[in-house]
Amino acid sequence: MSTPATVSFHTLGCKLNFAETSTIRQQFEKQGYQIQSFDSGADICVINTCSVTDFADRKCRKAVRQALNKNPEAKIVVIGCYAQLKPQEIAEIEGVDLVLGASEKFNLLNYVDRIEKSPGKGWVRADAIESVESFKEAFSYGDRTRSFLKIQDGCDYNCSFCTIPQARGKSRSDSVESVLQNAKLIGNRGIKEIVLTGVNIGDFRDATVPSKTGNQGADFLDLIMALEEQDNTDRFRISSIEPNLCSNEIIEFVAGSGKFMPHFHMPLQSGNDKQLRLMRRRYKRSLYADRVACIRNSMPHACIGADVIVGFPGETEEDFKETKRFLANLDVNYLHVFTYSERANTIAAEMGEIVPIQVRRQRNEELRTLSGRKQRKFYEQHRGTSRPVLLERSKTKGYLSGFTDNYIKILIPASEEVSINEVIDLDLLSMDRKGCMEASLKSGIPLSASS
């Protein structure tokens, strides 16, 4: 077949997926393909999937339908975690033409000329995850103001509920040199903030570089110390880090850094030690509380977020109440709440004492309500203060959005005084109904919406 002129991308899931999608998109751009929006009816539509919840299947099917509704002749390619876990199942979705597993997704260009649009089962290229041993670098560019820079992939933790080790393989890292080169390249393109991302970034290791901290090979602390010396990037942000890997030294470094933002996101999953043990997490809740206290003592203004799973097998009503009490008294500022869903080939899926779906949903709602209260309290604590904000596009017409250094979301009228990809000091005024802080220029001059 002739080379298609247009290609579009649709990403489901995490920042890591966005970084990888963007890198594949950049490969296509270098080969002369025209990049279009996903709803434009492009010749090739690439769907990068997630596997975190049981919605992976329906989200994938929905995306396939959306693409074919715009162009019934579009070549549909599915990649990502779900494609590695269940490639044959995806290949049987009507309209899917090619499924690429973890070892082949960055080689998509090698397959595009061989994709055939025909009824029946799609073409599958997915090797066993054990064959995936190398690290593939990736970073996002051109999609949004900030860049997501992949520094690590895979995970060795094997939590009882998680399929990531099956989808992405063992933990492996980029080299310090490569990360620094990519960060410099991103900065040279005018990007003001880089978000470090991966599956378990606190497990970063580069055995080829001596560690300044006494470990065998450079670790995550060595990496962020090296990034601090970059002279063309204003801001770095840590996407998420396991509490047992968020050391005092990392916290102290961020507290004294001029570039790393005072924002920590640490997965908790449960505030109950019994549940943490069943989940095969590598800490108790006392360690988590200690990490939060350490951050707060070093950076009273820092934003701290937590992941929580509700309805895990065996979670009794008292277990849930214990988690809720723990979170209510914990000085974290927002929660990402996940309703537990059974994942095939996980230890948790074989456990008894299943929590009814309606109970899981109710618990989810309770913790989301608690999260809203915590976020509002944190925002109100900063009312009347001034913080640096990186301005970005907003979905609200006539406005710009952005995040302060400590992750307070801002919404301001677009005007001639400010522009996208600019870091400016803003006075924080009050929280609006959309969960954002209204703000004005530090000079006290209110921003008026441009016509």
Q: Is residue 300 part of a domain?
A: no
- Do 142 and 256 belong to one domain? yes
Say which CATH number the domain at 125 has: 3.40.50.12160
Amino acid code (one letter) for 128: A
- Digit-by-digit pLDDT tens for the chain (451 residues) are 455 589 999 999 889 999 999 999 999 999 999 999 998 989 999 999 988 666 777 888 899 999 999 999 999 999 999 999 999 999 999 999 999 999 999 999 999 888 888 777 889 999 999 989 999 999 999 888 999 999 999 999 999 999 999 999 999 999 999 999 999 999 999 999 999 999 999 999 999 988 887 777 999 999 999 999 999 999 999 999 999 999 999 999 999 999 999 999 999 999 999 999 999 999 999 999 999 999 999 999 999 999 999 999 999 999 999 999 999 999 999 999 999 999 888 999 999 899 999 999 999 999 999 999 999 999 999 999 999 999 999 888 889 999 999 999 999 998 888 899 999 999 999 888 778 999 988 765 555 444 3
User: If we measure between CA atoms, which residue out of 53, 61, 4, 52 comes closest to residue 28?
Assistant: 4
Specify the pairing of strand 437-441 against strand 399-404.
unpaired
Tokens 């973890």, residue located = 102
Query: Cβ contacts of residue 415 below 8 Å, gap of 6+?
Result: 447, 448, 449, 450
Other Cβ atoms within 10 Å of 18 Cβ, number? 24
Q: Is residue 179 part of a domain?
A: yes
Q: Is the dihedral of CA 188, 257, 373, 329 positive or negative?
A: positive
Strand, coil or helix: what is 159?
Answer: coil
- The values of phi and psi at residue 150, to 5°, are -75, 125
- Do 142 and 157 belong to one domain? yes
Contact criterion met (CB below 8 Å) for 425 and 450:
no
Spacing of C-alpha 92 from chain mean position? 29
Tokens 């309703």, residue located = 339
pLDDT score of 1: 47
How many independent structural domains does the chain possess?
Answer: 3
Contact criterion met (CB below 8 Å) for 263 and 407:
yes
What whole-number distance in Å separates Cα of residue 441 and Cα of residue 401?
Answer: 14
- Do 97 and 174 belong to one domain? no
Q: Which residue, 131, 163, 184, sits at the end of a domain?
A: 131
pLDDT score of 54: 65
User: If we measure between CA atoms, which residue out of 159, 146, 249, 140 comes closest to residue 200?
Assistant: 159
Domain assignment of residue 36, given as a range? 6-131
Say which CATH number the domain at 154 has: 3.30.750.210
Strand, coil or helix: what is 295?
Answer: helix
Q: Is residue 291 part of a domain?
A: no
- The values of phi and psi at residue 20, to 5°, are -70, -40
Please calculate the CA angle 27-31-33 and round it to the nearest 5 degrees. Answer: 95
**Beta strand spans in 260-385 (E):** 263-269, 303-310, 334-339
Tokens 């309805």, residue located = 311
What whole-number distance in Å separates Cα of residue 338 and Cα of residue 368?
Answer: 10
- Do 32 and 150 belong to one domain? no
Q: What is the dihedral of CA 120, 124, 129, 133, to 10 degrees?
A: -160
Say which CATH number the domain at 396 has: 2.40.50.140
What whole-number distance in Å separates Cα of residue 27 and Cα of residue 79?
Answer: 15
Q: Is residue 46 part of a domain?
A: yes
- Do 255 and 175 belong to one domain? yes
CA contacts within 13 A on the Cβ side of 412: 31
Q: Is residue 332 part of a domain?
A: no
Q: Which residue, 131, 155, 183, sits at the end of a domain?
A: 131
80: left (phi over 0), alpha (psi -120 to 50) or beta: left
- Do 15 and 80 belong to one domain? yes
Q: Is residue 397 part of a domain?
A: yes
User: 379 vs 29, 228, 333, 366, 368, CA distance in Å?
Assistant: 41, 28, 9, 20, 16
pTM for the full predicted model: 0.93
Contact criterion met (CB below 8 Å) for 211 and 222:
yes
Q: Is residue 304 part of a domain?
A: no
Strand, coil or helix: what is 253?
Answer: helix
Amino acid code (one letter) for 282: R
Q: Is residue 354 part of a domain?
A: no
